[in-house]
Structure 1
Amino acid sequence: MIRFLHTADWQIGTQFGQFEPDEAAHLAQARFDTVRRIAAEAAARNADAVLVAGDVFDLQTVSDTVIRRLFAALQPFSGPWIMLPGNHDAALVESVWTRAQRLNCITPNVRVVLEPGVVLLDACRCALLCAPLTQRITYDDTTAFFDTTETPPGYHRVGLAHGSVGGILQESIDSSNPIAPTRAASARLDYLALGDWHGHLRVDERTWYAGTHEQDRFRANEPGFALDVTLSEPGAPPRVEAVRVGQYQWHRWDETISVPTDVDTLEARLAALGAHDVLRVEAGGTAALADAEALRVAIEETRARVRALRADLSGLHVLPTADDLAELGAQSGYLAKVVARLRGLQEEAQADPQQARRAAEALLLLARFQREQRPAQQRDSQAGQPHDPQAAQPHDSSAAQPRGARSA
């Protein structure tokens, strides 16, 4: 019997440039922390080995410090690590792997497979048929040699490769490196451990993608797992258990606001998020000024709780109601004309989308200004000092209102 963990697509060194620098730093650090968690799981489960099916590194040009940190993160598991170059870290003549060798940070229990061939784990009678990528993109099936490769009698036959199984995946993935969907059967494999698809996926009974260990994009394809694989004897079907190891869960929400209760519902969903969530939210439709400002405040409060957040409200048209205008003090005079003009820029059939977006932002700025000025007005009133309404134009109306005071 052999038991091993199957993992892939660590993408160590990913930059996460779409986020703020402090958010990106935490997401990059999580990829190291989760590698250490995989090592701890392998030790706790008495695994015979850990198989890493490619794309350990995101770039060939990661720093020496990143390389050293990655190999240091493997320390909790002292058993064999079998690492396969993928399309992001292909086994070029000069690569991240040759740099790691020169840095002397690859410990004796870590085997980096730079050439196609068989690696024997004699202690557990397992033959690993390995197909590393030696260039970023190939058009031939690098696993074809598995079919004709002999292994010692009585040994488990386990394939290790990185690429795209033909006709199986519905979405585009990182590389076009093809793998025959029948490879496990034609090569008489007990198990085929694959990398490149970033979610864990069963292709057939003996062929699996482990997926990335730590989610790195807004796609609902079950990332954040390692696979615990047990082979009882050669020829027997594998037993595969998905083990949650990822620290963060990424969510993408595309929302349409039509009525005030849509804002209430979205605020409740935002309130349920916490420190282990990464969110991208886009909102469109139409909302009263009070509702739009309340949503903006809820998003900013959520930003302080979650690990990372990207928000886009540019598709949301802000249309002030009579109550909004009263709160702004914009029922007449110059300010009323400004608000009317900003509303008109969003409602005109031929309105420039960028101009409409700026008009909505301007109305939200007015609402925010009103909210921020209210404490000063209250202090002046308590001190018995008259407040000059012309000294500070109203700015934010809705955030300070009770929920029931919003207009439909």
Structure 2
Amino acid sequence: MVTVRFLHTADWQLGMTRHFLSPEAQARYTDGRLAAIRALGRVAAAEGCEFVLVCGDVFESNQLSPQTLARALDAMRDIPVPVYLLPGNHDPLDAGTIYRTAEFTRQRPGHVHVLDAPGVHPIREGVEIVAAPWTSKRPLTDLVAEQVAALEPATGTIRIVAGHGAVDRGHPNPNDPSLIRIEALRAALADGRVHYVALGDRHSRTDVGCDGRVWYSGTPEVTDYVETEPGDVLVVDVGADHCQVRAHHVGAWRFLRREHHLNSAEDVQALDAELSALPDKERTVLKLSLVGTLTLREKARLDDLLARHGHLFAALEVWERRTDLVTRPDDDDFADLGLSGFAASALEELRELAAAPGEDSQAAQEALGLLYRLAGGGR
């Protein structure tokens, strides 16, 4: 009975940048994405995988710097088993494809293979990959269904489909011609034409269904806040009558979103303690939603702690669209500052504007905060 164990991964997007990262943090994030590739190579070796299958978007685009390409191929060189790369929507086989450049061809390790022809690719006796590479950024057909439809039921051969793109189940645009049709996959699995469908494009690890034989591996390193179960790769054991999929975590970065209600000095102190307790800050991107009402003194302490922690995290930002934080000065805020003359008059005017409804209230609150800090408050 023929069986095969391999590692399913996708969406490496080597060369990716994130706009919210500083140049220093971006350099570490780039190194982290390469480290995830080397880590999955160690998983493949430890688990006895025969090969690694990368289901699309190996690179962020077809236009990469020579350094990025060289470092990417060097990371693949460290994978100790054969590697099969499927072009996806980020790196399609179009006229400018990176896979046919002199730089890629010259530096490509011998055990790294590009699935640049649609159809069946024999891997060894009894094992085949059925590839559906992208040849443009906007295909007009279901590329996977085209390849599956051309197959006859396999006898004594395990077939693994390598595809990329969104499936039609739950898609907001069900008329998109490029969607991968689940029913076509279900039929091909039922009659023995294929035995496992490895997909890329969705960055969250996802069991699409069909008795656990259709999966998105997700990205091996997180790329966005909305992803679920990112940072994983899948070790797949498949035969004609069985399929087992096991996730292994290789990612080291985290993108977190947190909401905090701040209405007192104790709430600000609790936020400070929570941020201090978070591990691996240098590999954590944190977006905060802040809701509540603070005095000027409390707001100054909040601004100070955000600045302090901002130096420790890979990125720390306030989610403005989800933040509703009001500053309401009380009599104690300026009691010890000894303001007089013009400063005292400005204080009273700003306090009146801040307390009144209207579009000037927020600007007045911010001006009060600035006046408070310039006058030495919060020290």
Does TM, scored on the shorter chain, surpass 0.5? yes
CA distance change for structure 1 residues 336 and 286 in 2, over 3 Å: closer, same or farther?
farther
Shift of 1:44: 2.1
**What 5-or-longer segments of structure 1 have no aligned partner?**
370-393, 401-408
The residue that corresponds to 1:322 in the other structure is: 331
Asked if 1:199 is matched to 2:201, the reply is no
CA distance change for structure 1 residues 52 and 303 in 2, over 3 Å: closer, same or farther?
same
Between 1 and 2, higher relative CO (CA 8 Å, sep ≥ 6) is seen in 2
Shift of 1:3: 1.2
How many equivalent residue pairs?
Answer: 364
The residue that corresponds to 2:52 in the other structure is: 50
The residue that corresponds to 1:377 in the other structure is: none
CA distance change for structure 1 residues 95 and 270 in 2, over 3 Å: closer, same or farther?
same
Aligned CA RMSD, in angstroms, stands at: 2.4
Q: Conserved in 2, the CA contact under 8 Å of 1:148 and 1:187?
A: no
Aligned with 2:367: secondary structure? helix
The residue that corresponds to 1:262 in the other structure is: 267
Moved more, 156-165 or 316-325: 316-325
Asked if 1:285 is matched to 2:286, the reply is no
Q: Residue deviations 1:264-319, cap 9 Å, x none?
A: 33223212222331111232432111211111122122122222222357742222
CA distance change for structure 1 residues 245 and 346 in 2, over 3 Å: closer, same or farther?
farther
**What 5-or-longer segments of structure 2 have no aligned partner?**
none
Letter in 2 for 1:323: D
Asked if 1:12 is matched to 2:19, the reply is no
The residue that corresponds to 1:29 in the other structure is: 31
- Identity, in percent, stands at 31
Shift of 1:114: 1.4
Question: Counterparts of 1:279 and 1:219 in 2: how far apart (Å)?
Answer: 13
Aligned with 1:5: secondary structure? strand
Which one of the candidate residues 343, 346, 369 is aligned to 2:351? 343
Shift of 1:53: 0.6
Aligned with 2:350: secondary structure? helix
The residue that corresponds to 1:302 in the other structure is: 309
CA distance change for structure 1 residues 109 and 134 in 2, over 3 Å: closer, same or farther?
same
Q: Residue deviations 1:310-341, cap 9 Å, x none?
A: 235774222222221213334x6533332333
Question: Counterparts of 1:286 and 1:347 in 2: how far apart (Å)?
Answer: 12
Shift of 1:137: 1.4
Aligned with 2:203: secondary structure? coil
Q: Conserved in 1, the CA contact under 8 Å of 2:51 and 2:83?
A: yes
Asked if 1:243 is matched to 2:251, the reply is no
Q: Conserved in 2, the CA contact under 8 Å of 1:91 and 1:114?
A: yes
Shift of 1:152: 5.5
CA distance change for structure 1 residues 176 and 333 in 2, over 3 Å: closer, same or farther?
farther
Question: Counterparts of 1:82 and 1:20 in 2: how far apart (Å)?
Answer: 33
Question: Pairwise mapping of residues 43-82 of structure 1 onto structure 2 (< 5 A)?
Answer: 43-82=45-84
Q: Residue deviations 1:89-143, cap 9 Å, x none?
A: 01113311112665511122111111211111115x3111110111101231101
The residue that corresponds to 2:220 in the other structure is: 213
Letter in 2 for 1:329: G
Which one of the candidate residues 107, 111, 114 is aligned to 1:112? 114
Q: Conserved in 1, the CA contact under 8 Å of 2:264 and 2:298?
A: no
The residue that corresponds to 2:237 in the other structure is: 230
Question: Counterparts of 1:276 and 1:85 in 2: how far apart (Å)?
Answer: 29
Q: Conserved in 1, the CA contact under 8 Å of 2:334 and 2:372?
A: no
Shift of 1:225: 0.8
CA distance change for structure 1 residues 359 and 220 in 2, over 3 Å: closer, same or farther?
farther
Letter in 1 for 2:240: P
Moved more, 91-100 or 101-110: 101-110
Question: Counterparts of 1:176 and 1:278 in 2: how far apart (Å)?
Answer: 36
The residue that corresponds to 1:387 in the other structure is: none
Q: Conserved in 2, the CA contact under 8 Å of 1:168 and 1:203?
A: no
Question: Counterparts of 2:297 and 2:164 in 1: how far apart (Å)?
Answer: 52
Aligned with 1:363: secondary structure? helix
Question: Counterparts of 1:183 and 1:105 in 2: how far apart (Å)?
Answer: 38
Moved more, 314-323 or 41-50: 314-323
Q: Residue deviations 1:160-183, cap 9 Å, x none?
A: 10000112468x9xx983101234
Q: Conserved in 1, the CA contact under 8 Å of 2:5 and 2:50?
A: yes
Q: Conserved in 1, the CA contact under 8 Å of 2:77 and 2:109?
A: no
Question: Counterparts of 2:61 and 2:356 in 1: how far apart (Å)?
Answer: 48
CA distance change for structure 1 residues 64 and 11 in 2, over 3 Å: closer, same or farther?
same
Question: Counterparts of 1:256 and 1:341 in 2: how far apart (Å)?
Answer: 29
Question: Counterparts of 1:364 and 1:161 in 2: how far apart (Å)?
Answer: 55
Moved more, 90-99 or 315-324: 315-324
Shift of 1:54: 0.4
Shift of 1:13: 1.1
Letter in 2 for 1:318: T
Q: Structure 2 length as normaliser, TM-score?
A: 0.88
The residue that corresponds to 1:379 in the other structure is: none
The residue that corresponds to 1:131 in the other structure is: 132
